[in-house]
């Protein structure tokens, strides 16, 4: 791997301490970092190098109290600047030149913007003014955290602004969902196995369902979340990216350009949901106070920083279609929400039942479809459910599961999402990063729903008690008799009718 410096803007903030520095330390211990490497923290806080090392590494509560290796601490440096003052970026340039000389990092820089979105356009412009985007003196890469825009127009404006100073191949829009091992393994599951890909189409698939459940509320993020909501926070980025992995066509090669081009085609194939159709295809909800395990949990409007009359959704369920040859008329269902019974993200592929039900009288009609369940988190793995004869007289049919868990791979460590994404940007592999045009097309799909919820007062916002699976009306989205959402458990193979009330 090339020598390089990772420059973290906003290095004194929560994300750096909670995710970035721990991820880098685990990569260091696993010997994944290049020999000539350094981290330069940049923010307003007035730290020396030693104070920064102490704050984000030696006394970082997210790294525990066990012995920490000093070799990593010596890789950490710090520069205090006013991030809104262009002249201060000369300090960053000079500090990087010093690090290049001392650490032999060759002028290769990653600029990681762990800052509020209001700075996404300013910092690249200031870097450009001081020649820190110049690819002739070593490669330069720019990492952007979400949210990438607030709607299609703002995303387009942000893309235009960034691309004035950095080429598209230098820009890495991070989505930590794509760093999860199981999401990446979707491509291998589909395209490396002859038993799945021939069935992965409208001829054999009844519908596909994706659930991303969280059992926590908004916590201290109420002020941010109340201006975002579940559709912006989870669907537009994370879950549509998962949809792309599930539904895209096979790329010609396994490189970033081919994979990201197929994702774009998939997003372009999403059937638009017009503002007049939103009530038919989208359900929104908001959690209300309830008792869980004998303790009262506050409702969303009672949370810190949330407007007492807020109509921000904490739950979204969508039904949509993909208008292409593979998926014509196959319904896709997405739901995500806070204060649901458990924390789990999974994809369920429901296969069509045989055209002639020879053993119809012996089947459990609620579970007659074969299911392939891909667990993204936690308890990562894959479960295939199919019918088998119960031993004894007659033909009583019972659903059984055949499962694989990543934890069963004895000498394998499943890397945390940020570790994988950081390694990829260090290598210059953009496969797991969103491309600018794909982001805008995803916003194009989401915007009419947001507009309808904002402008049409007659569209209902359903309350659901904390600790339940969201508004019951969401079950009506799913087509077909005896078919409903699969409610996941904390463990992949537990009973699918799990409830916690």
* Encoded tokens for 132: 């820190």
Other C-beta atoms closer than 10 Å to the C-beta of 441 total 21
Over 250-305, what HEC string results?
CCCCCCHHHHHHHHHHHHHCECCCCHHHHHHHEEEEEEECEEECCEEECCHHHCCC
401, 423 contact by CB (below 8 A)? no
Structure tokens at 32: 């994944």
The residues near 359 (Cβ < 8 Å, ≥ 6 apart) are: 387, 395, 397
- Residues labelled as active-site residues: 238
Helix (H/G/I), strand (E/B), else coil: 351: strand
- Rounded Cα gap, residues 254 and 267, in angstroms: 19
Comparing CA positions, the residue from 194, 191, 179, 195 lying closest to residue 247 is 191
SS3 464: strand
Helix (H) or strand (E) holding 397: strand 397-405
Sign of the torsion angle spanned by Cα atoms 220, 221, 227, 230: negative
Residues 341 and 500: beta-carbon distance below 8 Å: yes
State how far the Cα of 57 lies from the Cα of 45, in Å rounded to an integer.
16
Q: Say how far apart CA 425 and CA 432 lie, in whole Å.
A: 9
Q: Which single residue is written with the structure tokens 């739950």?
A: 315
Q: Report residue 117: phi and psi, to 5°.
A: -60, -25
Helix, strand or coil for residue 469?
coil
């Amino acid at each position: 791997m090339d020598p390089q410096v990772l420059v973290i803007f906003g290095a004194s903030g929560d994300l750096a301490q909670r995710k970035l520095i721990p991820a880098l330390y685990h990569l260091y211990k696993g010997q994944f970092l290049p020999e000539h490497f350094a981290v330069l923290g940049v923010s307003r806080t007035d730290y020396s190098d030693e104070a920064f090392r102490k704050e984000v590494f030696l006394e970082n509560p997210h790294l525990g109290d066990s012995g920490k290796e000093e070799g990593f601490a010596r890789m950490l440096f710090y520069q205090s600047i006013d991030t809104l003052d262009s002249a201060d970026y000369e300090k960053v340039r000079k500090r990087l030149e010093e690090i290049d000389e001392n650490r032999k990092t060759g002028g290769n820089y990653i600029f990681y913007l762990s800052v509020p979105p209001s700075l996404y356009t300013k910092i690249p412009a200031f870097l450009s003014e001081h020649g820190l985007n110049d690819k002739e003196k070593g490669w330069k890469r720019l990492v952007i955290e979400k949210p990438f825009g607030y709607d299609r127009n703002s995303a387009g404006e942000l893309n235009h602004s960034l691309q004035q100073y950095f080429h598209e191949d230098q820009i890495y829009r991070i989505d930590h969902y794509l760093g999860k091992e199981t999401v990446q393994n979707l491509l291998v599951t589909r395209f490396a196995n002859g038993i799945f890909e021939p069935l992965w189409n409208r001829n054999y698939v009844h519908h596909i369902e994706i659930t991303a459940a969280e059992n926590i509320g908004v916590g201290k993020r109420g002020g941010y979340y109340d201006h975002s909501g579940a559709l912006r926070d989870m669907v537009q980025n994370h879950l549509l990216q998962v949809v792309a992995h599930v539904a895209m066509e096979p790329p010609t090669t396994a490189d970033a350009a081919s994979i990201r081009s197929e994702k774009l085609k998939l997003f372009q194939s999403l059937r638009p949901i017009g503002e007049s159709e939103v009530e038919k295809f989208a359900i929104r909800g908001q959690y209300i106070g309830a008792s869980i395990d004998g303790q009262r949990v506050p409702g969303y409007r009672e949370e810190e920083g949330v407007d007492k009359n807020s109509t921000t959704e904490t739950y979204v369920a969508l039904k949509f279609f993909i208008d292409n040859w593979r998926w014509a008329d196959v319904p896709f269902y997405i739901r995500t929400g806070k204060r649901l019974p458990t924390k789990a993200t999974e994809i369920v592929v429901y296969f069509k039942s045989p055209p002639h039900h020879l053993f119809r009288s012996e089947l459990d009609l609620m579970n007659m479809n074969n299911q392939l369940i891909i667990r993204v988190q936690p308890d990562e793995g894959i479960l295939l459910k199919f019918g088998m004869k119960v031993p004894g007289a007659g033909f009583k049919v019972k659903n059984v599961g055949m499962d694989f868990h990543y934890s069963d791979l004895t000498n394998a460590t499943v890397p945390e999402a940020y570790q994988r994404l950081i390694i990829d940007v260090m290598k210059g592999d953009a496969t797991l990063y969103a491309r600018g045009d794909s982001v805008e097309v995803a916003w194009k799909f989401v915007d009419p729903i947001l507009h309808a919820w904002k402008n049409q007062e007659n569209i209902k916002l359903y309350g659901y008690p904390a600790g339940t699976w969201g508004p019951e009306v969401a079950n009506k989205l799913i087509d077909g008799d005896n078919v409903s959402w699969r409610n996941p458990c904390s463990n992949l193979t537990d009973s699918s009718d799990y409830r916690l009330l």
